[in-house]
Chains A and B, each alone.
Chain A
Amino acid sequence: MIRAEAVEATEFPELANQFRVQGVPQTVINSGKGIAVGAYPEARMLAEIKNALKN
């Protein structure tokens, strides 16, 4: 149900470009339904995930 994938941005530039990755870490939730730029603390990431799943 939950898949966490670390993507090495320089090895997969097309994917990184698709999600406009300019700095790391950047977390992409369900192929762009949500995007979190920077290192989020757990509670904030949870809020971001909840928000993304509503869309």
Chain B
Amino acid sequence: MEKLLNEQVTGQIREAFAKLSNPVQILFFGAQENCDYCAETLQLLTEVSELDERINLSKHELTANAALAAKFQVDKAPAIVIAGKDGDETLNLGIQFSGIPAGYEFSTLITDILLASERNSGLSAETREFLKTLKEPLHLQVFVTPT
């Protein structure tokens, strides 16, 4: 299959990934049916993960791997979970994509990988203090489009 990322883009990503501190685990969730962008999303993630050995990619299926999907609260396909990796342990950082991270959202994907590696949200002290006091789960869905 033809590559989705050209050499200029892969060069920029390699440069950004040179600063990675901790390994990152990317979980891809696909589905057999009604998933127009599953193949393309998986190819995109494969090409990204091949750019640095600290980026690990695992492939899963929404129904066949239902327990894992539930653990990461994934309910759509394609879905991407950007997690930390500590030895054999996967650290759920609560970062996920539903749908293909194409166009403008591709840079969001790369930024999320860098964040997951640093394990630092970059949020202010005030925000962090408030988030520590949460008594119920907080789910933020940011609707985006590739253009």
Contacts and interface: CB of A to CB of B under 8 A. Distances in A.
A25 B73 contact: no
Interface of B: 36-37, 73, 76, 94-102, 105, 108, 123-124, 126-127, 130-131, 134, 136-146
B55 to A, nearest CB: 18
A8 B142 contact: no
A2 B134 CA distance: 9
Contacts, number: 116
B138 A3 contact: yes
A11 B37 contact: yes
A9 B141 CA distance: 10
Contacts of B145: 8-10, 24
Contacts of B100: 8, 11
Contact of B140 (A12, A21, A29): A29
Given A2-B137, A3-B137, A25 B96 contact: no
Interface in A1-35: 1-12, 15-16, 19, 21, 24-31
Contact of A1 (B99, B127, B134): B134
